[in-house]
Structure 1
């Protein structure tokens, strides 16, 4: 029996073809849960679902398209519904705010924020009807630490953190929990280009008190806890998983006699 109590649960993961999404899918499957993998690209999520077995299912789904999300939710609900929703889909269109286009700004918000609400509504209705469920949203330390030249990314993640808290407040009385995990520096396919230069990787590692860049599994471990019965009394929270990076600002301020 799993210590987390996730056996037999149906877990829907958005952005399941990404680095964190794949780690989530493997981790939930290893705990005996049925993983439903939502991603725009079935070439990424389809083979993973086949590897996982245990009834894992890959569905093509674009979070920016409410109809696509509704269709996926209808399929899952017809097969018993979801017990857990993990929102991990995200896109990044970098650019300075002075020049970011309305199109790029809106595209990022459509996936990184509105898509999270759309998924919460679509899969949450069944959970609300059953009086139980857990939602976990992947935010970022960029929600509280502005990330320059990243367009709408920081704004979208800050809004996700508040969305999660509002869902916790509104849906808690009806048996649902909502929490966030906020990653720091994580090596994923989306961030791999940043680490192509070994010097950049070394400099980034030096900024992190634990002196390493996180793996997707580090994020998955935190998500599993929040989705599990071990977190039955935890809601409206944001677990920061950044190796201490967000606590190191004052350590960067030069002081006499301190290296």
Structure 2
């Protein structure tokens, strides 16, 4: 990550939901390196506090708060704490998400609803509440973390793909409605990423190598790959980027036609 002078994030307050996860932690570290102040929101308050403390032992530039992104009162309480500490939010990274897998034919409505509550409604609630602070501060930026599953259906994953697809559209609508308020809204859509949540898949070396062969650049994504793009979209360097989705997958989503057999071209 290039330094904060280039990004223009120095002194900005960045709120990261799901900030204790793999991608969230990478965004936290990158934001601190860029001179920003960072608020880590996590469902578990202790985990949020520990994550912030590990990244900033002095406690001057990072704080951790417990927050259920699907609960309006919980998000409002977190926003109030941010306002009291640093005057409000300049950048919101909607990164929190959960997965409750299962085939659609017998997926419970409870699991379907819970995933949408966190993965989709959480983005709207956070945007509404922290967006008001951005308006008061003269503008800001929102970056939503979706997935290539927003456009490529991920089977046996419940509401994951529908929810991420809705997040991408939500971002575009926010970009249109809030652009005049000087608030930009964009999306990053990660592909295969090695995080604590997915590392179990990669313990099998055969599975890892097979997945790596699927990606044109020949490797699995790292959380830092996602953080670099998210922080660019959050920064002044992306001041004229609004309502866009950047796919960060090493080219994986462009390989469909390569799977179609062709005489003389089969790999």
TM superposition shift of 1:198: 1.1
CA distance in 1 between partners of 2:6 and 2:43 (Å) = 33
1:98-126 Cα offsets, whole Å, 9 max, x none, are 01100000000000000110000110001
2:102 matches 1:99: no
Task: Give the conservation status (yes or no) of the 8 Å contact 1:17–1:41.
Answer: no
CA distance in 2 between partners of 1:137 and 1:180 (Å) = 5
CA distance in 1 between partners of 2:159 and 2:51 (Å) = 30
| Corresponding residue of 1:205 | 212
| Corresponding residue of 1:215 | 222
TM superposition shift of 1:46: 1.6
1:8-33 Cα offsets, whole Å, 9 max, x none, are 00000000011100111111011100
Task: Give the conservation status (yes or no) of the 8 Å contact 1:12–1:37.
Answer: yes
1:183-223 Cα offsets, whole Å, 9 max, x none, are 00001111112212111111111010011000000000000
Task: Give the conservation status (yes or no) of the 8 Å contact 2:216–2:250.
Answer: yes
Partner residue of 2:24 out of 15, 21, 24: 21
How many residue pairs are counted as aligned between the two chains?
259
| Corresponding residue of 1:146 | 153
Q: TM-score, normalised by structure 1?
A: 0.98
Unaligned runs of 5+ in 1: none
Task: Give the conservation status (yes or no) of the 8 Å contact 1:127–1:176.
Answer: yes
Q: Aligned-residue CA RMSD in angstroms?
A: 1.0
Structure 1 segment 30-179 matched on structure 2, within 5 A: 30-53=33-56, 54-79=60-85, 80-179=87-186
| Corresponding residue of 1:3 | 6
TM superposition shift of 1:52: 2.7
Unaligned runs of 5+ in 2: none
Q: Secondary structure at the match of 1:81?
A: coil
CA distance in 2 between partners of 1:111 and 1:137 (Å) = 13
